[in-house]
């Protein structure tokens, strides 16, 4: 048993040491290449938080000019490869509340929907629901001609 262990470590010692050092260098190269923004491993998945995206209202029945969304901006967490995340324009993310077929009388809570460009997946939206109110619009009074 002792002879086996001695042969395991001492036979071809320099070749085994060289292999161990080479394997360590390869591992370190791959590890640090993933940390470089434009490195060879740019296809790694990255997450990005996009705060302050405006919420738009989509409705087929109602006049959306009289509707107010609270809060009117949300934060979206998206994921994609690091090249897409680096070049992602926040305006490409569409955040909306769909009110198709629903009449808003006074107030309503609706779930927020997120549309992302190809290759980008949305993970989370905060808050997940918004409150939709019907605003009272004052009609402008006509000026009398004197």
The pLDDT, as a whole number, for residue 33 is 67
CATH, domain range 45-134: 2.170.120.30
Residue ranges covered by each domain of the chain: 2-33, 45-134
**CB within 8 A of 79, min separation 6: which ones?**
45, 46, 47, 48, 85, 120, 121, 122, 123
Strand order in the sheet with 129-134: 67-70, 129-134, 107-111
Report the chain's mean pLDDT, rounded to a whole number: 80
pTM of the predicted structure, to 2 decimals? 0.59
Per residue in 72-111, pLDDT tens?
899 999 988 777 888 889 999 999 998 877 777 778 888 9
Return d(Cα 69, Cα 57) in angstroms, integer: 8
The pLDDT, as a whole number, for residue 43 is 56
Return d(Cα 50, Cα 120) in angstroms, integer: 13
């Amino acid at each position: 048993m002792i002879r086996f262990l001695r042969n395991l470590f001492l036979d071809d010692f320099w070749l085994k040491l060289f292999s161990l050092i080479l394997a360590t260098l390869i591992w370190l190269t791959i590890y640090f290449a993933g940390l470089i923004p434009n490195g060879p491993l740019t296809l790694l998945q990255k997450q990005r938080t996009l705060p302050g995206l405006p919420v738009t209202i989509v409705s087929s029945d109602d006049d959306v000019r009289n509707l107010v969304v609270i809060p009117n901006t949300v934060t979206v967490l998206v994921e994609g490869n690091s090249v897409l995340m680096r070049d992602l324009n926040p305006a490409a993310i569409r955040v909306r509340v769909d009110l198709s077929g629903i009449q808003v009388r006074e107030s309503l809570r609706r779930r927020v929907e997120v549309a992302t460009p190809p290759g980008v997946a949305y993970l989370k939206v905060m808050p997940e629901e918004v409150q939709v109110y019907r605003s009272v619009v004052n009609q402008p009074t006509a000026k009398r001609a004197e």
